[in-house]
């Protein structure tokens, strides 16, 4: 299940033969993003946020992040490729506190 899903999210990984190597590339990308500081880091990423009350409270408190759920636009939908890709990309720039 994961290999085809990752292929949909990251077409550049389609030629990678096995799931372990695909996951390794994703982990390497996340590590490189954190080392380079090239993208903004997020304090939180809320998955299945519903009406996003926690997300709203975190943003109001000054934290950077986002909430994802199927009730939002396709860019924030947990079940849409666009929303899932954005969620994965945000996880790769997530700041560990």
96 part of a folded domain:
no
Strand partners, 67: 46
Total domains present in the chain? 1
Q: Assess if residue 77 is contained within a domain.
A: yes
Q: Please indicate, yes or no, if residue 44 is contained in any of the structural domains.
A: yes
- Domain annotation covers residue 97: no
**For residue 69, which of 92, 85, 50, 44 has the smallest C-alpha distance?**
50
Rounded to whole angstroms, the Cα distance separating 19 from 26 reads 11
Mean pLDDT of 10-28: 92
Whether the CB-CB separation of 41 and 93 falls below 8 Å is answered with yes
45 assigned to some structural domain: yes
Summarize the confidence of residues 74-95 as an average pLDDT: 78
Residue 84 lies in a domain: yes
**24-66 residue pLDDT tens:** 998 888 888 777 765 567 788 888 888 889 999 999 999 988 8
Q: What value does the mean pLDDT of the chain take?
A: 84
Which of 88, 95, 96, 97 has its CA nearest to residue 26? 88
The gap from C-alpha 36 to its chain's centroid, in whole angstroms, comes to 18
DSSP assignment, residue 42?
Answer: B
pLDDT of residue 97: 42
- Give me the percent of the chain exceeding a pLDDT of 70: 91
Q: Is the pLDDT of residue 76 over 80?
A: no
- pLDDT band for position 22 (cuts 50, 70, 90): very high
Could you list the residue range(s) of the whole structural domain that residue 25 is in? 2-91
């Amino acid at each position: 299940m994961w290999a085809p899903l990752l292929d949909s999210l990251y077409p550049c990984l389609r030629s990678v033969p096995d799931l372990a190597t695909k996951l390794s590339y994703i982990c390497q990308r996340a590590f490189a993003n954190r080392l380079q500081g090239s993208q903004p880091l997020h304090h939180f990423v809320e998955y299945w946020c519903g009406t996003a009350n926690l997300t709203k409270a975190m943003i109001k408190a000054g934290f950077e992040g986002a909430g994802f759920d199927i009730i939002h636009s396709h860019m924030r939908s947990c079940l849409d490729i666009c929303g899932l890709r954005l969620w994965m990309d945000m996880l790769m720039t997530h700041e560990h506190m």
